[in-house]
Chain A
Amino acid sequence: MRYWSLIFALAAVFSVGAFAYAPFSADWWLPNPAGEPYHSVSTFGREIDALFLIILVLTGAVFIGTQAALVWAQFRYADRIGEDGLPVRPAQYFHGSQRLEVIWTVIPAGILVFLALYQMDTWAKIKFRSASPRTPVLAEVTGRQFQWAMKYPGPDGRLGTPDDLFTVNDLHLVKDQTALIHLKSADVIHSFFLPQMRIKQDAVPGMAIPVWFDCDRAGRFELACAELCGWGHYKMRGDVVVHETEAEFQAWQAAKLAEQGRSQIAGADEPEGDDR
């Protein structure tokens, strides 16, 4: 009978094992660029990852402790019937322990309050409007069924003028510069999710929500929709391209603007962009 405890032990070992293996596989760990599975590309990402690890270690320790106690109790105190058909050992008769109750109330409470307070600063830095950077807006991003419409201010640096650049599912920013976007929705609720940069913010119709982030690696990343928005929800994938330099970004923008202003076919209609 007591061997039933092993199945519980197995579940615990499996859980711990899976979590312990996860960091050693890029596919199992937090989403990071392919070449550097342990490098989080954004400032907020690194802070979030650190907090995540703290919680992971703390909960892991609590998990191992409670599961060990549970499995031990199951194994040690399993009923055994002797030769005479009577239990080998009687059950103890007690109703609890005030001291234990106090201990296992106060210690977890302390840990939990610490965790909550320790997170506040990062949370404020990422989301509080008062913390938003004083930089010009990179783009206005509007979710609509089922794509992300991007509007860049263009050369005059102002949104809502005829030189705005319009793209779809194509967000461009510059390495190491904080990108500030205004997030809107044209129809239902969407959610702007940059897995590699650990950014997520719902886009709510009727609201313009500022979102800011940075990235310290040039390259191509992914933008996803994380809030159910209808039959094409899974289709709302966008490309995020991080340029090495401001000049590269400007060149891209100029090329895109030229294409947006095209009035004759002359010259091959060949938009830039690599072949994935």
Chain B
Amino acid sequence: MIVRRCIRLGLGLSILLTTAAGCSDADLTGPIVYEEQPAMSREVEGKAHLAGKPRIQEKARKTLARLYGPSPKEIHVPEGAPLSKDEQGRLGVLLANHVQTAQGPEKLPHAGGYGLYRRHCLHCHGVSGAGDGPTAPFLFPLPRDFRRGLFKFTSTPNGARPERDDLRRTIRDGLHGTSMPAFEALLTKKEIEQVVDYVTFLSLRGETELALIEEGFIADDEDEDALEDDIVDELVQSVFGKWEDAADTVVDPPVPRTPPSPESVARGRELFLGRTKEKLECAGCHGAKGLGDGPSFVDVDVFNRVVFGGDPSKMPERVAKLDEKARELWKQKLDEWGNPLRPANLSRAVYKGGRRPIDLYWRIAKGITGAQMPAHYPGIDHAQIWDLVNFVLALPYQPELLDDAPAPAAAEGVAADAPAVRR
């Protein structure tokens, strides 16, 4: 009796498990929902929010679901979105492993951006691309929040949307010195395109969400016409427009790199130390030795104590414990997303946005979107930028370049990780 019951149980269990195994990758996901911007329902200090406007909130949610789909499993793509098309001109085919047609869902021969994102990116970047996945709090720098459409390492002007190739490069090569891995060996080229599309999709969705909140913030909850279709249309088109414009604004250095002669490096050094008439303040942040410990930034020890001195969730309390001056400086030196920021240590030969001269040119000429690195063009001309690039590339190999520079007292703090390249 008991034997038979057990056998039946075992059989049932294995049948259950084998059927589960037969399903495709994306089908077995449990209930998965987008996370909302807190400003959608709560008061956020100093920012637009929809607290106390239940009708507008409802409208915003419905609009978002209509435009981009109600959940990550059901993706809608608004007309004209800046995403890839296939040969038949269908928009957003790279986003999922199927498309909706009049005859119902049609299977596509790829995993789709959503499936790949869920597998490779979700645990850091989160379901809505907010950079809030379960792994995220334990990383420094924090993963990017896509929802503002801003990305740090781009070829486009400061504050502009990234070009498709910028996202592709970041995914393919990773961001050295951060927790963003290189996916070249993990994804095929086609798969990377799918992920690029999905990241763009999440950005568009996030930007639209923010635009709706901002639009709703100035509207009256009683107003029947608030967030009506043509207003929404306009908002969406403006979001798309920014992405479409990006390709035309890519910065291409008009003159090629100056050969990295000692003279060019020396000129770059003078620029770095602010000894030219342009009075650049590089050393103010990057430090007189290029160690990323300049006096106008938060002191290295203070920074380490706050960021690494305990649980990530307790960081606000550690900030609150700083004295007033340090706290004020701390607040000024956050990035666009409100996260702590550290100037690059130039002695380590670790370049987050890439080590090609053109990458460094972009960093210097147009700054880093969302970070404190400002655009230096047209403050200095192209030749001077190339001198600076040559200097930055030479510095790890010739630390003596900055030997006679005045060393600030705090420089000792990070000296320990300098040997990383010089071994």
Contact = CB atoms under 8 A, between A and B. Distances in A.
Within the complex, are A and B direct neighbours (CB within 8 Å)?
yes
A263 B355 contact: no
Interface stretch (B75-83, B99-107, B177-185, B283-291): B177-185
Contacts of A149: 176
A260 B356 contact: yes
A94 interface: no
Interface stretch (A16-24, A210-218, A233-241): A233-241
B174 A147 contact: yes
A199 interface: no
A104 interface: no
A149 B350 CA distance: 11
Contact of B174 (A168, A231, A266, A275): A168
Contact of A266 (B135, B184, B189, B252): B252
Contact of B358 (A170, A186, A262, A273): A262
A184 B420 CA distance: 11
Contacts of A134: none
B205 to A, nearest CB: 26
Q: Main secondary structure on chain A at its contact with chain B? A: loop
Interface stretch (B66-74, B253-261, B322-330): B253-261
A237 B186 contact: yes
Nearest to B123: A231
B282 to A, nearest CB: 20
Contacts of B301: none
A276 B169 CA distance: 17
Contacts of B397: 160-162
A250 interface: no
Contact of A168 (B123, B182, B188, B393): B182
A170 B186 CA distance: 11
Q: How large is the interface on B (under 10, 10 to 19, 20 to 34, 35 or more residues)?
A: 35 or more
A234 to B, nearest CB: 10
A166 B260 CA distance: 18
Given A261-B357, A263-B256, A265-B252, A235 B135 contact: no
A148 to B, nearest CB: 9
B91 to A, nearest CB: 23
Nearest to A265: B252
Contact of B356 (A145, A146, A231, A262): A262
B361 interface: yes
B275 interface: no
Nearest to B190: A275
A131 B291 CA distance: 40
Contact of B165 (A239, A269, A276): A269
Contacts of B358: 262-265
Nearest to A140: B423
Contacts of A276: 188-189
Contacts of A169: 182, 184-185
A273 to B, nearest CB: 8
A168 B361 CA distance: 22
A147 B253 CA distance: 31
A126 B96 CA distance: 47
Contacts of B253: 263-264
B422 to A, nearest CB: 8
Interface in B101-158: 123, 135, 155
B356 A259 contact: yes
A39 to B, nearest CB: 24
Nearest to A260: B356
B186 A235 contact: yes
B181 A146 contact: yes
21 contacts: A146-B179, A147-B182, A160-B422, A162-B394, A168-B176, A169-B185, A170-B184, A170-B185, A231-B123, A231-B135, A237-B185, A239-B184, A262-B356, A263-B357, A264-B252, A264-B253, A264-B256, A273-B189, A275-B189, A276-B188, A276-B189
Given A168-B173, A169-B185, A264-B252, 9 more contacts: A160-B397, A161-B397, A237-B186, A238-B185, A239-B184, A260-B356, A262-B358, A263-B256, A263-B356
